[in-house]
């Protein structure tokens, strides 16, 4: 372990965000981190949880990257971990500017991020590489939904990540409704087969870098109960079978789950990942089938840390010191989540500076 301080900048630290979870994870680490938090809005809980915090322009603004660089120089930042989708892309696009200042970015390459962002192309790529994926249909017109062979289906955006605008449709009428809803807001819809049972849904985190020199993984069977973890739940009128679409908030049971972890590691290798990747999958009669892939740290990182697997710390120490973690087993058991409230005075709110 290092005795000296490592300054890490975490962006996008709003309540419930990946950035907020990254802060909590780094605070759990044995490594001596000094954490700098940034966000584009003032009323964000993560801004009050670190030694220094700043309000920044929006990602994509011409002022965003210069502002982040200015903060890095002022605070002697050595590592940046972007905590929102828009900032991940913007920072990675400008990676060379940070590397010129000897600042490490804990994120995948832009090529990997773009590849995983297109869910239709990702399914095609995985199938070419021999993985079993849900049947996926790309429709440009509502009449093409007549080609759906079996219900229920998932209607979701073709691009992006996370669980926003993901819907479960039990028949053609519902599929058309959700299709039109996404189209109305200029979101390209994707139709995907609903696979397996919600009781066998897993989230897998993999760190894979430099062709497998770094390769670690962890899996959790998701506990899809209550409003925190369930976005949509319906029952079939005849069979009474329950169908569930999960949110991005994960809680559940940690165990070795070798088969599930192997699928995650195989996918990371096949995609030539060079960083963190999170895979959601279900165990079915046809095997373990991935249905969502995000090339970034997952919001589950705090739960993983609690059982002894701190992904941001592992990856940070690998990038800075070329450390390979010992293959030590993590704790077996449940990680449960809830909501907490905090009060902040106007004086505390106004103290956060514009960068």
Residues in Cβ contact with 110 at an 8 Å cutoff, skipping those fewer than 6 apart: 89, 92, 93, 95
When the pLDDT of each residue in the chain is averaged and rounded to a whole number, the result is 93
Residue 168 belongs to some domain of the structure: yes
Residue 309 belongs to some domain of the structure: no
Lowest mean pLDDT among 41-55, 80-94, 154-168: 154-168
Mean pLDDT of 231-257: 85
Of 277, 295, 313, at which residue does a domain stop?
A: 295
156 shares a domain with 274: yes
93 shares a domain with 49: yes
202 shares a domain with 122: yes
CB-CB contact of 167 with 156 (8 Å): yes
**Which SS3 state, helix, strand or coil, does residue 21 take?**
helix
What pLDDT sits at residue 141?
A: 92
147 shares a domain with 74: no
- Split into its structural domains, the chain has a count of 2
Residue 311 belongs to some domain of the structure: no
Task: Look at residue 88 and tell me whether its pLDDT is greater than 50.
Answer: yes
Mean pLDDT of 80-103: 96
**Which SS3 state, helix, strand or coil, does residue 191 take?**
strand
In total, the chain counts a number of residues equal to 355
CB-CB contact of 145 with 191 (8 Å): yes
Please, what's the b/e burial string for 127-137 (b: 16 or more CB within 10 A of its CB; e: otherwise)? Answer: eeeebebbebb
Cα separation, 125 vs 222, whole angstroms: 26
Cα separation, 241 vs 234, whole angstroms: 8
Cα separation, 84 vs 92, whole angstroms: 12
CATH label of the domain that carries residue 61: 3.40.50.20
Cα separation, 85 vs 119, whole angstroms: 15
Q: Supply the range of the domain harboring residue 98.
A: 6-107+340-351
Task: Look at residue 1 and tell me whether its pLDDT is greater than 50.
Answer: no
155 shares a domain with 249: yes
pTM score = 0.92
What pLDDT sits at residue 17?
A: 86
Residue 89 belongs to some domain of the structure: yes
CB-CB contact of 39 with 13 (8 Å): yes
Residue 151 belongs to some domain of the structure: yes
8-state DSSP, 155: E
134 shares a domain with 99: no
CA dihedral of residues 193, 282, 132, 171 (deg, nearest 10): -10
Cα separation, 344 vs 348, whole angstroms: 6
161 shares a domain with 101: no
pLDDT confidence band for 96 (50 / 70 / 90): very high
Residue 312 belongs to some domain of the structure: no
Mean pLDDT of 203-230: 92
Please, what's the b/e burial string for 64-100 (b: 16 or more CB within 10 A of its CB; e: otherwise)? Answer: bbebbbebbeebebbbbbbbbbebbbbbbebbeebee
pLDDT confidence band for 178 (50 / 70 / 90): very high
178 shares a domain with 47: no
Cα separation, 249 vs 247, whole angstroms: 5
Cα separation, 214 vs 324, whole angstroms: 6
235 shares a domain with 103: no
Of 295, 312, 330, at which residue does a domain stop?
A: 295
288 shares a domain with 256: yes
- 343/74: higher pLDDT: 74
Residue 234 belongs to some domain of the structure: yes
| Residues 285-340 pLDDT 10s | 999 999 999 999 999 999 999 999 999 999 999 999 999 998 888 999 999 988 88
Residue 310 belongs to some domain of the structure: no
CATH label of the domain that carries residue 209: 3.30.470.20
129 shares a domain with 67: no
135 shares a domain with 220: yes
């Amino acid at each position: 372990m290092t005795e000296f301080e490592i300054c890490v900048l975490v962006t996008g630290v709003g309540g419930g965000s990946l950035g907020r979870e990254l802060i909590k994870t780094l605070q759990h680490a044995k490594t001596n981190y000094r954490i700098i938090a940034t966000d584009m809005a003032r009323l964000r809980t993560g801004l009050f949880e670190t030694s220094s915090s700043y309000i920044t322009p929006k990602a994509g603004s011409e002022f965003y990257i210069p502002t982040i660089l200015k903060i890095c120089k002022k605070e002697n930042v050595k590592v940046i971990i972007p905590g929102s989708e828009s900032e991940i892309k913007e920072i990675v696009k400008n990676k060379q500017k940070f590397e010129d200042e000897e600042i490490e970015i804990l994120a995948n390459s832009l090529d990997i991020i773009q590849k995983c962002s297109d869910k239709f192309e990702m399914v095609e790529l995985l199938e070419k590489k021999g993985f079993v994926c849900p049947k996926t249909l790309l429709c440009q017109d509502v009449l093409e939904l007549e080609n759906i062979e079996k219900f229920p289906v998932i209607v979701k955006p073709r691009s992006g990540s996370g669980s926003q605008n993901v819907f479960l449709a039990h028949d053609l009428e519902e599929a058309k409704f959700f299709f039109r809803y996404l189209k109305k807001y200029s979101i390209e819809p994707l139709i995907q087969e609903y696979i397996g049972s919600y009781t066998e849904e897993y989230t897998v985190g993999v760190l894979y870098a430099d062709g497998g020199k770094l390769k670690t993984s962890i899996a959790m069977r998701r506990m899809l109960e209550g409003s925190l973890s369930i976005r949509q739940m319906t029952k079939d009128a005849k069979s009474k079978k329950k169908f569930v679409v999960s949110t991005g908030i994960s809680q559940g049971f940690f165990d070795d789950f070798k088969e599930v972890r192997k699928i995650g590691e195989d996918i990371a290798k096949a995609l030539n990942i060079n960083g963190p990747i999170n895979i959601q999958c279900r165990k079915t009669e046809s095997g373990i089938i991935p249905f969502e892939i995000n090339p970034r740290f997952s919001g589950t990182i705090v739960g993983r840390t609690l059982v002894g697997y701190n992904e941001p710390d592992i990856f940070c120490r690998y990038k800075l010191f070329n450390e390979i973690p010992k293959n030590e087993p993590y704790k077996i058991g449940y990680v449960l989540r809830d909501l907490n409230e905090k009060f902040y005075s106007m004086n505390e709110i106004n103290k956060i500076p514009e960068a």
